[in-house]
Structure 1
Amino acid sequence: MYFEVLGVTDPNAHTVVLSSGLGGSAHFWKPQLEALTKQYRVVVYDQLGTGRSPATLPMDYSIEHMSDELLELLDGLDVKQCHVVGHALGGLVAMKMALRRPDILKSMVLINAWSSPNPHTLRCFNIRKAILDTCSKEIFLQMQALILYPPDWIADNIATLVEEEAHLLKVFPDKDNLLKRIAALSTFDIENQIKQIQTDTLIIANKDDLLVPWQQSKQLDDALPNSKMSLLDYGGHASTVTATQTVNTILMEHLNCY
């Protein structure tokens, strides 16, 4: 699995692990790296079956598989404790880690995540699967942008977005792998386990998220014993990109408490 270790080299520095959403790419976190690498050892990685981590994923691929892959990576890097920042799918990975290996988590940050399937989100996934089956990769990426970003951000950043989509087209994941990852997201459900998670948790949600209703984050905040929530008015699903300064400020304030 492809990974990079960036930032502070002091062995006593805290480690921050960044885990992406459905796309699985380390590149997603570029807007956060300048702020984080000044103070922390930062681990980014391309999730298995995406980007620079080619693989054929098993038919029963799950969030549990993804958490095991990240834990194996961290064990290989001799990381004893870390903060995990997860966006959407990455947040689900963090919660599964908190259930399986709570000792390795100093804290977790869940950005537009959820604890069980939601009818609205499932419909969005069904549309994406239909586009994969019937349309081009270019159309899939255009639909993805509509899900990730607010309309005004797309209008103001269209040149950057077109350039990014050209890059994503070159590294577009294997269709079968992508469908297996969507299936893993669609079936993730830890409602009967969520109260067992004792990890200190920061939840970030967006009122204008088109993919994951912010109430899913509120549900997480109500269920998790040691959580706090920051609800943003603007940013869409990918507020790490569209509201970078706001998200980075919230993230750094959380991490600097340790």
Structure 2
Amino acid sequence: MSDVRYDGPQLADAGDVDLCFDAFGEPTSPTVLLVMGMGFQLVHWPEGFCRQLAAEGFRVVRFDNRDAGSSTHLPGRRYSLEDMADDVVGLLDALGVDSAHLVGASLGGMVVQTTAIRHPRRVRSLASLMSTTGRRGVGRTSPRVLRHLLSRPPRTVEEAVERRVRVFATIGSTGFDQDLDELRRVTALAMARDPDARGGRRRQHRAVRTAPDRTTALRRVAVPTVVVHGTDDRMCHPSGGRATAAAVPGARLEVVEGMGHDLPPGAWPRLVRAIADNARRGEERGRPG
């Protein structure tokens, strides 16, 4: 996939915030916009995964959410998932893209769901990965995982790297090999890009906590939708994925045996196929009406 075009990091004026993004694939290809989870950055979408998806004929754009990575941080500010969905549209505006195929993981799944509800004309297809609807009782986090998340913040890069390895030993896929060297590399890179990430993560978490149940609103989503969830996800119980698929009319549910709350290389072929096939259905339908 080394021949896939890559355009390096840039800042886009998305209205209230500047968003850092990069892109894989030809600018004239249909856009797939990747939205990452809570406290995570564009670098947490693996480059190899992005290149494989771009090779399917798409322009793959990944970006740092507000309060993450190299995008605008908002200390002292409160905001909502609706604000984060508006950021998505602001980025599309900056890119000159009328509508895109949206792919969101975890918190990113909540953001793309909200975008499809709030801005239906800007969404050609929807892929919600390892996420949930906001309905109480579904998609819960294992208490074992919460213990890791509530531990004291790392003080050095070495501590951050080893903490991430421990966390992913708990939330990561049990049915696929983990690339620990890559996990360590990306963790160090993320800390270098955003040394004070904890505050932003807390503000994103507040947006999730205060968000309403999207179940009823998701019934209005009319674009091709695929919901992907791993059987071994301890961060967001698979009931969250089932609830999302049940809420969106015609949604396809892809249950990946042995996948946790991560993107292991062994699962990429299936994930890329599910996203690309769903996006092609969106292309066949044409522009949102």
- Taking structure 1 as the reference length, what is the TM-score of the superposition? 0.86
2:105 equivalent in structure 1: 87
User: Tell me, what secondary structure is at the counterpart of 1:183?
Assistant: helix
Asked whether 1:231 is paired with 2:255, we answer: yes
2:48 equivalent in structure 1: 31
Cα displacement (A) at 1:58 = 4.7
d(CA) in 1 for partners of 2:89 and 2:75?
17
The amino acid across from 1:19 in the alignment is V
1:8 equivalent in structure 2: 26
Cα displacement (A) at 1:126 = 4.7
d(CA) in 2 for partners of 1:207 and 1:178?
26
Specify which structure has the higher proportion of helix: 1
Q: Report which stretch shifted further, 140-149 or 40-49.
A: 140-149
d(CA) in 1 for partners of 2:168 and 2:196?
16
Aligned positions of 1:74-113 closer than 5 A: 74-113=92-131
1:244 equivalent in structure 2: 268
The answer as to whether partners of 1:234 and 1:243 remain within 8 angstroms in 2 is no
What is the count of residue pairs matched by the alignment?
A: 255
1:20 equivalent in structure 2: 36
1:43 equivalent in structure 2: 61
Identity %: 20
Cα distance change of structure 1 residues 106 and 64 upon mapping to structure 2, 3 Å threshold: same
Correspondent of 1:62 among 80, 85, 95 = 80
Q: Deviations over 1:84-118 (max 9, x none)?
A: 01111111111111111100101110001101144
Asked whether 1:150 is paired with 2:173, we answer: yes
Cα displacement (A) at 1:249 = 2.3
The answer as to whether partners of 1:124 and 1:211 remain within 8 angstroms in 2 is no
Cα displacement (A) at 1:192 = 3.7
User: Tell me, what secondary structure is at the counterpart of 1:193?
Assistant: helix
The answer as to whether partners of 1:206 and 1:239 remain within 8 angstroms in 2 is no
Q: Deviations over 1:44-90 (max 9, x none)?
A: 11111111114124542221121111111111222111100111111
User: Tell me, what secondary structure is at the counterpart of 2:125?
Assistant: strand
Correspondent of 1:179 among 192, 202, 216 = 202
User: Tell me, what secondary structure is at the counterpart of 1:230?
Assistant: strand
d(CA) in 2 for partners of 1:182 and 1:144?
18
Cα distance change of structure 1 residues 92 and 77 upon mapping to structure 2, 3 Å threshold: same
Cα displacement (A) at 1:132 = 4.2
Cα distance change of structure 1 residues 152 and 94 upon mapping to structure 2, 3 Å threshold: closer
Q: What are the ranges of 5 or more consecutive residues in structure 2 without an aligned counterpart?
A: 1-18, 284-289
- Taking structure 2 as the reference length, what is the TM-score of the superposition? 0.78
Q: What are the ranges of 5 or more consecutive residues in structure 1 without an aligned counterpart?
A: none
Q: What RMSD in Å do the two structures reach over aligned CA positions?
A: 2.6
